[in-house]
A and B are shown apart, each in its own frame.
Chain A
Amino acid sequence: MAFLKRLLLGEQGLLVIFVIAFAVVSVFVPSFLTERNMLGLFQSVVTIGIVSCTMMFCLASRDFDLSVGSIVAFTGMVAVMASNASGSIVIGLIAALACGTFVGFVNGAIIAKLKINALITTLATMQIVRGLALISSDGRAVGINDPGFYQLALSRFIGIPTPIWIMVALFCVFGFVLNRSVFGRNTLAIGGNPEASRLAGVNVDGMRIWIFTIQGLVCAVAGILLASRITSGQPNAATGLELSAISACVLGGVSLAGGRAAMTGVIVGVLILGIAENAMNLLNIQAFYQYLVRGLILLLAVLLDNVRSTGLGRK
């Protein structure tokens, strides 16, 4: 019993739960553990996975970003429309990345320099950017002219689709940045105590702007891959993504009060959300129930985290 308690409440608690959940689902859900389904599962979490990387930094520094879903949709549109218009995929991609970065920069600059709450700032940009996506497309999906664009999502490397590689690469990059760079450590410091960090010489405003700018850039990457997978720019794509990404981070032990984050946790968080959805699809459970289940998972994770921190802090 004591052993079980230590196993669940320790650092590795989430991982243990993940392994158990994975094993249970593999046994009870037919055709879950097939190569085809596994690749499908990973592909389904690419968008959340990529965005969660930078969302983690945002949350760890005690900020929030609600605009990610809109940026993903908008940059997807930009990528499709710009490559249709110019006839060059490369120009489309550059335009999309630039737009995403710009929106992120604006978020960061408003939050850091004008000292406006991140929740409110990104709530505003979330709607503005979604509006831009709808206006530019007149509210309709925009098809891709050049079939080369599909290849972004369809191409494979050693049998695994490119988007999954990109997600994995970003996991590695941001995991490294968090643990091994001054940037990562300063992010956690700002989350822990912004005023003390500033007095200790951390460029808090600069850091904030960078965090949001990178978030914008990364959302653009996710937006491009999403557009390529659904073979069009959809102005209504990725609604609710901000909540999924925040859920994945919180599941992964990122503290909303800032100062605490781990890449492995976030990866597990992303996969738990992915597995839940995938299993429910395989079991033909109505999509409506999926909201319910996702909410419950999140609640459980937060409770676990709560039990864990009080369990360690007090006798």
Chain B
Amino acid sequence: MADFLSFSHISKTYPGVKALSDVSFGVGKGSVHGLIGENGAGKSTLIRILSGDTGADDGEISVDGVAQHFGSTRDAFAAGVVVVHQELQLVPELTVAENLRLGRFPNRAGVIDFRSLKDEVNRRLKEIGLSVDADTKVSRLSLGERQMIEIAKAIMLDARVIALDEPTSSLSSQESEVLFQLIGELRASGKVIIYISHRLDEIFRLCDGCTVLRDGKLAAHHPAMADVTRESLVAEMVGREISDIWGWRGRPAGEVRLKVEVMSGAKLPRPIDFEARAGEIVGFFGLVGSGRSELMRLVYGADPRRSGKVSIDGVESSGANPRRSIREGLVLCSEDRKFDGIVQGLSVAENIVISARRHFSPFGLLSLRREADTAADFIKQLRIRTPSAKQDIVNLSGGNQQKVLLARWLAESGVKVLIVDEPTRGIDVGAKAEIYELLYHLAEKGLAIVVVSSELPEVMGISDRVIVMCEGRIAARYERAEFNEHAILASALPDRTAGEPNKKAS
């Protein structure tokens, strides 16, 4: 069978980085093809070239036997190629309907026909199983819902080739199910789907074949998944074997370090209490929209509280804002990397030292040497892939940006409580294992660690204790000995009989 979509000899160089070199492979019609590789391996770059967003230095893409030269995303749309990018690209102040039809509004003589726009969008959303109203502003949706809207956008464009760059990284498992079903239908209707993910179980479940990139080169191409194992894929990606990704090891828990009492806020009206001990890793599990991130933001002082008290080592914290919390030793690594995490336009080094620099800036004067050393240390320690510490952070691959954000708090001295919200979102297997190792190490040093995650295996794999949230309250607590996948999942579901995953109390 001739390949419907084929890449031949694609190369791309950025200043200081060879992002892709001589990558060639093809994908047949009506199939789902996985694209995997470590952070910075060049997956997103390849997809950006496919979408017409950037040009390749060399090489050619052909669709249905026709060589394509995409000068822009519009060209790609015209050829039936649509890409859902890793960093969501919706306009937050517009409604769902407007976003879905941006640039292609139904109109009469230039006047937008809002009625038919709304009706059409609502119908389409229903078709693909999304219970979001067309009139909702995107800024009011959760990350997971936004992701689904992006995918809906691609489907509405009647694409022949759809590339999804880490689509499930911000979806709950229920939402992922809906997406997988959708992908199955798209495949059945003869579309080509390129599927990028760091979650290998998804690759095995969904894909008909897969391609592994390493350091911008083609490391392996499997037209079928029959002869492929999880271990062999990991080895191809990382270049070495990883046996136990969680690597959990027990450690004694000490005194209570973090105590949160009657915490409530605008989006979390019911007061919540919980605590974490020194040396303990507490996992927070729940569906997207269950209030985990909101709770952590309240604890950190990022959003105004209605009520609530945070004590660190038995001392009541005065921290009702992030700056004070940091000074008292409580830090939060937020889930939304693009809006709450990275500071665009600043270098990797600046992003790492933005908070820690106050420790080595006497009278507010920078110590450029210390800053450079600190940055270089963490770039090395976390193996952040960047041509130099001076690189603008927006040019880093998604996973590497995440590592920079972790480095920001590792560079802080005097941290007692570390809260990480989706710490491994978009991070490759090898780096994941390293980050878990880092968390164990910090816990052994006596930090109390709170991990928020939507990945149940991750929560169960690394936590000493799990707290499950559901609809803005704590639904259950489990000690490690009692961990049970079904029980945890069941307590996370709002209504155990009616399993409608996307339903959200608003």
Contacts and interface: CB of A to CB of B under 8 A. Distances in A.
Interface of A: 180-183, 185-186, 188-189, 191-193, 195-203, 255, 258-260, 314-315
A200 B332 CA distance: 9
Contact of A199 (B322, B365, B366): B322
Given A181-B361, A182-B361, A199-B340, 14 more contacts: A181-B364, A182-B357, A182-B364, A189-B343, A191-B345, A192-B343, A192-B344, A192-B345, A196-B340, A196-B343, A200-B343, A255-B345, A314-B55, A315-B55
B333 to A, nearest CB: 9
Interface centre among A203, A255, A258, A315 (most CB of B within 10 A): A315
Given A180-B365, A181-B366, A259-B346, A315 B354 contact: no
A259 B357 CA distance: 18
A197 B364 contact: no
A130 to B, nearest CB: 34
A201 B330 CA distance: 11
Contacts of A314: 54-55
A136 B36 CA distance: 72
Contacts of B332: 199
25 contacts: A181-B361, A182-B364, A182-B365, A182-B366, A183-B364, A185-B354, A185-B357, A185-B366, A186-B354, A188-B345, A188-B350, A189-B350, A192-B345, A193-B342, A193-B343, A195-B339, A199-B322, A199-B332, A199-B334, A199-B341, A200-B354, A201-B327, A203-B323, A260-B345, A315-B12
Interface of B: 12, 54-55, 57, 300, 302, 322-323, 326-327, 332, 334, 339-346, 350, 354-355, 357-358, 361, 364-366, 368, 408
Contacts of B358: 182
Contacts of A188: 345-346, 350
A310 to B, nearest CB: 12
A197 B343 contact: yes
Contact of A315 (B54, B334, B343, B346): B54
B342 A196 contact: yes
Contacts of B300: 199
Given A196-B339, A196-B340, A189 B354 contact: yes
Contacts of A255: 345
A202 B341 CA distance: 13
Contacts of B12: 315
A255 B57 CA distance: 29
B57 A315 contact: yes
Contacts of B326: 201
B502 to A, nearest CB: 27
A182 B341 CA distance: 19
Contact of B345 (A186, A198, A259): A259
Cβ-closest 8 pairs across A and B: A259-B345, A192-B345, A192-B343, A201-B326, A315-B55, A201-B355, A193-B343, A182-B364
B354 A197 contact: yes
Contacts of A182: 357-358, 361, 364-366
A181 B342 contact: no
A259 B351 CA distance: 13
Contacts of B334: 199
A202 B368 CA distance: 19
Nearest to A193: B343
Contacts of B350: 185, 188-189
A260 B358 CA distance: 22
A17 to B, nearest CB: 23
Nearest to A189: B343
Contacts of A199: 300, 302, 322, 332, 334, 340-341
Contact of A259 (B340, B344, B368): B344
Contacts of A191: 345
Contact of A202 (B340, B342, B354): B354
Contacts of B339: 193, 195-196
Interface centre among B332, B365, B368 (most CB of A within 10 A): B365
Contacts of A259: 343-346
A41 to B, nearest CB: 33
Interface centre among A186, A191, A193 (most CB of B within 10 A): A193
A192 B322 contact: no
Nearest to B325: A201
Nearest to B364: A182
B375 to A, nearest CB: 13
A255 B345 CA distance: 10
B14 to A, nearest CB: 9
A276 B246 CA distance: 66
B421 to A, nearest CB: 11
Interface centre among A188, A196, A198 (most CB of B within 10 A): A196
A182 B300 CA distance: 23
A180 B327 CA distance: 23
A232 B346 CA distance: 45
Nearest to B367: A180
Contacts of B302: 198-199
Nearest to B363: A181
A213 to B, nearest CB: 16
Interface centre among A189, A191, A192 (most CB of B within 10 A): A192
A103 to B, nearest CB: 25
A208 to B, nearest CB: 14
Interface centre among B322, B334, B408 (most CB of A within 10 A): B322
A200 B355 contact: yes
Contacts of B54: 314-315
A203 B327 CA distance: 12
A182 B346 CA distance: 14
Contacts of B355: 200-202
A193 B344 contact: yes
A161 B72 CA distance: 55
B349 to A, nearest CB: 11
A189 B346 contact: yes
A195 B350 CA distance: 16
Contacts of B340: 195-196, 199
Nearest to B366: A180
Contacts of A181: 361, 364-366
A315 B59 CA distance: 14
A193 B344 CA distance: 6
Contacts of A189: 343, 346, 350, 354
A198 B366 contact: no
A262 to B, nearest CB: 13
Contacts of B57: 315
A259 B354 CA distance: 14
Interface centre among B302, B354, B368 (most CB of A within 10 A): B354
A183 B354 CA distance: 11
A260 B355 CA distance: 19
Contacts of B357: 182, 185
Contacts of A193: 339, 342-345
B232 to A, nearest CB: 35
B482 to A, nearest CB: 34
B55 A192 contact: no
Contacts of A197: 343, 354
B346 A200 contact: no
Contact of B341 (A180, A185, A186, A196): A196
Nearest to B332: A199
A118 to B, nearest CB: 19
